[in-house]
Chain A
Amino acid sequence: MLLLSPYIDGELSPSERIVVERHLSACKECTGRTADLRAESGLLRVGLEMAVDEVDFKDFAQKVMARVTPEKPPLLERLKLSLSEMFLYQRTVLISSMATAAVLALVAVPLLLRDKAPLGYAGERMTVKSVHVYEEARASPVVMETEDGSTIIWLVDQDTPAPGEDTSSQDAKDPDADPTEATPGKALPAAKDPETPKEGAL
């Protein structure tokens, strides 16, 4: 009788199964019990399935995920967050432009005070090889070639004799900048000689 339960589960060894089946063919009672066990097993399954079907699992996984994932703030919070991020970003821009102004002042003030052109402060990797000045150009561009083949075009505005504010001087601090787009700040000493540059542009 104990073997009937594993029998219906298909968990008997082949030899045990043969013994049970032989017995079942002769014993009505055990055949009845086997049928009962099978019916019960089916009922259990159907019964639980019915109960599970009553449940809506639509949000289940979502709820579990909400509990296991790092906190995801609600919409309003996220909106606030992105707004403050935006503000932060703008503040960074603001700060960096202020920093630029400060650097410009630092660079421009000594330049203005000096009569002589400063010694070159080109980066180690970039040295001026040759300088061509196109005299006939109104903006008086200065074209320079660097050692690694990059070309620097320096435009000198001659119309406005304003205080020498050099917007590009900040770039001179970054010698690792894209070599094809060389920094005009480094060309400053060369351009300085013929006439005082007021504005530079690439």
Chain B
Amino acid sequence: MATDDLTLVKRVRSGDQRAFKLLVERYQRKVYAVALGMLKDKEEAMDVSQEAFVKVYKYLDHFKGDASFYTWLYRITVNICIDIIRKRSGAGGEAVEFDETLPMDVSEANIGALGSRLGTNPQKSALRRELAEKIQEALSAVPEKHRAILLLREVEGMSYEDLSRTLDIPKGTVMSRLFHARAKVQKILSQYLELDEAKSGVGSE
């Protein structure tokens, strides 16, 4: 069994550099996945991932052992990403605004299409792969705060409680943002699916 995070953190604090390396190796992929999902740009995501770990190391003394280490690590990662996105949009990039009061606009005709066409059939992995490649594009259409929640939920499998603590928002907000983020991604994926159907003929693969 691997040493738990808090033990490693204590070891880092007492000057054990190798313990920090273990933490980096433990979370590097997931931190990168979150950063990539947030930023879409591979290089930027890599820079952010490094930056996040460097920051964590630097402020390790501020980490109160009351929350999980990864909660803190992801919070730092997400904040760096949001800063970058804001700078981007400030520099003329697209800022995605989102009105949570708007009703979900998934086209009703498509309900169940994604689920039924993907199903669990391994034969359909080609389509799954194709759609998976579109995921990052779909994510970029989701406002950053919603995106962060969706990513942390899906990549890390964080509980609503953890999400609420990580992002410092009430659990109800976690739930509604997650719902809206999913609706948005769903809509985009459905559009791809329609395009795909139009290309290859309905239902045939």
Q: Chain A residues in contact with chain B, CB under 8 A?
A: 1-2, 5-6, 9, 11, 28-29, 31-52, 55, 57, 60-61, 63-65, 67-69
Contact = CB atoms under 8 A, between A and B. Distances in A.
Interface of B: 17, 20-21, 24-25, 28-29, 32-33, 36-37, 42, 46, 49-50, 53-54, 57-58, 104, 111-116, 118-119, 128-129, 131-136, 139, 150-151, 153-155, 159-160, 175-176, 178-179, 182, 185-186, 189
Count chain B CB atoms within 10 A of each CB in A31, A40, A50, A68 and give the residue with the most. A40
Count chain A CB atoms within 10 A of each CB in B49, B111, B115, B131 and give the residue with the most. B115
A136 B188 CA distance: 110
Contacts of A47: 131-136
22 contacts: A11-B175, A32-B111, A32-B116, A34-B115, A35-B112, A38-B115, A39-B115, A39-B118, A39-B119, A40-B186, A43-B132, A44-B135, A44-B150, A46-B128, A48-B36, A48-B151, A48-B154, A55-B32, A60-B28, A60-B49, A64-B21, A64-B24
Nearest to B36: A51
A46 B42 contact: no
- Summarize B's interface: helix, strand, loop or mixed: helix
A65 B24 contact: yes
Nearest to B189: A40
Contact of A48 (B46, B155, B178): B155
The 3 closest A-B pairs by CB, nearest first: A32-B112, A35-B115, A47-B135
Count chain B CB atoms within 10 A of each CB in A28, A52, A63 and give the residue with the most. A52
A59 to B, nearest CB: 11
B128 A40 contact: no
B178 A5 contact: yes
Contacts of B25: 57, 61
Contact of A43 (B131, B176, B178): B131
Contacts of B153: 9
A11 B33 CA distance: 23
Contacts of A50: 129, 132-133
Given A47-B135, A61-B25, A65-B24, A33 B111 contact: yes
A55 B42 contact: yes
Contacts of A52: 29, 32-33, 36
Given A11-B159, A32-B115, A65-B21, A5 B179 contact: yes
Contacts of A1: 104
